[in-house]
Structure 1
Amino acid sequence: MNHLRFLRYVDEVARVGSIRQAAERMHVAPSAVNRRIQDLEGELGTPIFERLPRGVRLTAAGELFVGYIRSRSAQLEHVRSEIEDLQGLRRGSVRIVTSQALAPVFLPGAVAGFRATHPLVQVHAGIGDHVQAVQSLRDFAIDLALVFNLAPEADIKRIADFEQKLVATMHRDHPLAARAELRISECVNYPLVLPEGDIGGRQLLDRFLARSSIKLRPVVESNSFEFMRGYLYHEQAISFQIAIGAVTNGGQLVAREIADRGFPRGQLVLASLRNRQLPVIAHAFAEHLMASLTAQGAARQA
């Protein structure tokens, strides 16, 4: 299937914007990549790339052609997966992007549990927000997305939704750690370490505060949950996290539910690209994720 390899040259150049860098990533000579691109441009009768002083970028025709390449590659992966499934091999690869909150505990456990019954499967796990996840689905770069508060999109299929609470997190020595649940008004009396405004958990907080007289004044803001957890060791501070991402670090940190009436909850959404037929093994992994998440709380099928 050499012709497929040549199509991959085009796809890789489109992703990195450079013939040289693409050639290095694929371990081939830049001249070979450039020659194949020129051959394809000759067959199509139009340039695929616009040559720039530093790199290349897709022409309008090139964008159409790359869309065709990625769609065809996804179809081929599906066929390969079905053939391997018939042979009982259960091999192949699954590509997923998940929210940062799932990276420390849930996702490693889910992947390990899946590989216990599918040891020949390779999993590519990326971390990103809902914007990055949707774009990766549209680019056929991933099979599945599992992200928090994914907005409805016409071309994105919501496979399942999982309700998530926001919880307050703190060190076990914090004065409020002995409480079973907390009100937001109690939290503001301590230093606050908050996610940045474009992160789903912060948006839940802001939605609640828009109807309240309470004002949150964070001492630290960050886009890294790992950093925010680490900060709780150094000051009697409080942070917030969706429940599935509330890592206790061996009991050093605690999570407490928020007791305020009407406090909003968010949705963890498992999604794929609509009208794309997933490879068999990716479908099996989606089923495994749903079972794992359902075990942690009720799920609503989309």
Structure 2
Amino acid sequence: MTLQITIKQLAYFISAAELSSVSGAARALNVSQPSISTAINQLEDSLQQPLFVRQQGQRIILTPAGKFALTEARILQRQFKDFCLDTINFDGALQGELHISGFQDLAPYYLPGILAEFKSANAAVQISLDEGDQQQVLQNLLNCKTDIAICYHLGAEPKIIQHRLTALYPYVMLASDHPLATEKSLSLAQLVAEPLIVENLPRTKEYFMSLFRQFNLEPNIYIETSSFEMQRGLVASGLGVALSCTRPKGDLSYDGSRLICIPLNDDVAAETVVLCHLAELKTTKLMREFISCAEQYFT
């Protein structure tokens, strides 16, 4: 059996699958709608499987075979891109585009410095960035939407390779006039009665709640927010206390209110800062250079 499948067909299929729409894929790729439909039909003929269920209107839904094909197509598309880039970068100055994802609370404190050093040695490389919570970073990796990511350790993820960069221990944030603000260190038991401001992001909230569970403590969650800076601002205004591992250089909230940061004296696990990439894809020359630069940044 001879298969005649093209990279373009895969690209059209991936776009239609991600947007659940043939017309949406056509707009996104700036091609005609019949071009997308023809590519999908040809792909279905070649693979001898229906990839989509066509619904009323213009919405399309992946079949079980289509879901499998989407995962594999994303990998093939990335492998083709990596083949091209590594061949282009076989010798001479590095070029091409590196897609980087970062955990929104962590990346702003490390990524600019790493990128400044990386770009000073690799001026021709283009960088694209996106930020999100820990779960979004993981999904970007699994969906081949990013080459490499900087975040906290993602746990036991067999499909992800994680390079340790450093470790950050949790600390307590308090308003400057809080009664505990003069303490040298604090325990989680001392915080149980305090109103707790929690950053309610996937994996982030779970990590901090696990610290309390470790000592059979139940925190008094007062406010949940999706923003680290909102969390810091609420604490600085005296609305509660909070826990974090990321600590900006200046202990001030956006409105200039002062924060007091005190270490925990409990024996708790640190959060490990890592660089991540997908295990089943090769580590390109661009990625290896970036990993090396990041590791040097932390030494």
TM-score, L = length of structure 2:
0.83
The amino acid of 1:155's aligned partner reads: K
Query: Residues 1-302 of structure 1: matches in 2 within 5 Å?
Result: 3-53=6-56, 54-160=58-164, 162-172=166-176, 174=178, 176-177=180-181, 179-187=183-191, 190-196=194-200, 198-200=202-204, 202-212=205-215, 214-235=217-238, 237-243=240-246, 248-249=251-252, 252-254=257-259, 256-292=261-297, 294-295=298-299
- SS of residue matched to 1:181: coil
Q: CA deviation at 1:203?
A: 3.4
Aligned CA-pair RMSD:
2.9
Structure 1 CA distance, aligned partners of 2:180 and 2:296? Answer: 34
TM-score, L = length of structure 1:
0.82
Structure 2 CA distance, aligned partners of 1:277 and 1:15? Answer: 24
Can you list the C-alpha shifts for 1:249-283, whole angstroms capped at 9, x where unaligned? 48854462423231332222322221310221122
Q: CA deviation at 1:228?
A: 1.1
Structure 2 CA distance for partners of 1:56 and 1:263, relative to 1, 3 Å: same
- SS of residue matched to 1:47: coil
Paired position in structure 2 for 1:300:
none
Structure 2 CA distance for partners of 1:45 and 1:149, relative to 1, 3 Å: closer
Structure 2 CA distance, aligned partners of 1:66 and 1:154? Answer: 20
Percent identity reads 22
Can you list the C-alpha shifts for 1:126-177, whole angstroms capped at 9, x where unaligned? 2234433333222222222332241212222223263221122245565555
Residues 48 and 61 in structure 1, CA contact (< 8 A), matched pair in contact too: yes
Residues 169 and 253 in structure 1, CA contact (< 8 A), matched pair in contact too: no
- SS of residue matched to 2:94: coil
Structure 1 CA distance, aligned partners of 2:39 and 2:190? Answer: 65
Q: CA deviation at 1:57?
A: 1.9
Can you list the C-alpha shifts for 1:71-117, whole angstroms capped at 9, x where unaligned? 22222222222233234231112223222221432223322332232
Q: CA deviation at 1:179?
A: 4.6
- SS of residue matched to 1:210: helix
Structure 2 CA distance, aligned partners of 1:212 and 1:290? Answer: 34
Structure 2 CA distance for partners of 1:217 and 1:197, relative to 1, 3 Å: farther
Q: CA deviation at 1:56?
A: 1.0
Residues 174 and 236 in structure 1, CA contact (< 8 A), matched pair in contact too: no
Residues 172 and 261 in structure 2, CA contact (< 8 A), matched pair in contact too: yes
Structure 2 CA distance for partners of 1:51 and 1:255, relative to 1, 3 Å: farther
Q: CA deviation at 1:288?
A: 2.0
The amino acid of 2:119's aligned partner reads: R
Residues 134 and 203 in structure 2, CA contact (< 8 A), matched pair in contact too: no
Structure 2 runs not aligned, ≥5 long: none
- SS of residue matched to 1:28: coil
Q: CA deviation at 1:32?
A: 1.9
